[in-house]
Amino acid sequence: MTELNVNIDHVATIRQARKADYPDPVWAAALAELAGADGITCHLRIDRRHIQERDLRILRQTVRTKLNLEVSTAQDPLGVAMEVGPDIVTLVPERPEELTTEGGLSVTHNRDAITNAVNLLGERDIRISVFIDPSIDQIKAAHEIGIKMIEINTTRYVEAPNADTRRKEYGQVMDAVRLAEKLKMRIAAGHALDYKNVGPIAAIPQVTELNIGHAVIARAVLVGMERAVREMIEAIRLGEPPAA
Ligand code: PXP
């Protein structure tokens, strides 16, 4: 079944809102794993607005499944990634003013920075993924650099304003998936997925893992982490293809 990596950034967002020492994203990660999550994802942003280096260092010691760290190609977070050694590093674009990651990383426009990051992380045997829009050009460029894993940005599909656009966006996701499969890449997907829209993405057999944060943490605030994670696992299991 498609794996669920729970992104715990927003547990840290609540903590940082008061610069308190709770709630602890490390605890949240443990609860998510106990509820059946297949991995823990977090984003060490340059401005450290949510996850802190302390979180990452403890998560590296406590996460029993897999730890996926999102970072930009800037020197600062890459250095921390090298030191901590997560199982996967997902390269993402980062704009200081953004509320959340706004789009996929353009591999075609950032070839040198991405190649540097790949070479650096390769020294530590860390699996490297790039978060990209569902675009043939981006996948080809990632493959040329030697990247073997991608995370497809699902935002445009999820936020499509009507059924026609949604069908078109789903088609783009499927084209991207088919090419990545042909190139023998491991395929993840994520961003803006929730309990209602996850089905058609979870139903794509080549997509082996999903990174989901906001929807799960928002629900966990009300119903508890264990139930929020279990319900997402159930939504993924039920994954339905899109309406024709
Ligand atoms: N994938 C990537 C690359 C992200 O940057 C994020 C947000 O940090 C997610 C997935 C999770 O997105 P959401 O919080 O909308 O589920």
Around 195, how many Cα atoms within 13 Å sit in the side-chain half-sphere? 13
pTM: 0.96
Average pLDDT over residues 190-197: 97
**pLDDT value of position 62:** 98
Average pLDDT over residues 87-96: 94
Q: Which two tokens stand for residue 185?
A: 């890449």
Average pLDDT over residues 69-94: 96
Pocket test for ligand 1, best of 7, 92, 150 (most atoms within 8 A of CB): 7
Average pLDDT over residues 208-224: 98
pLDDT at 67 over 60: yes
Beta bridge partners of 3: 209
Query: CA of 156: how far to CAs of 103, 135, 234, in Å?
Result: 9, 12, 24
**pLDDT value of position 244:** 53
pLDDT at 176 over 80: yes
**Please, what are the domains in the chain?**
3-237 (3.20.20.70)
As a whole number of angstroms, the distance between CA 135 and CA 34 comes to 36
As a whole number of angstroms, the distance between CA 84 and CA 62 comes to 12
Distance 7 CA to ligand 1 centre (A): 7
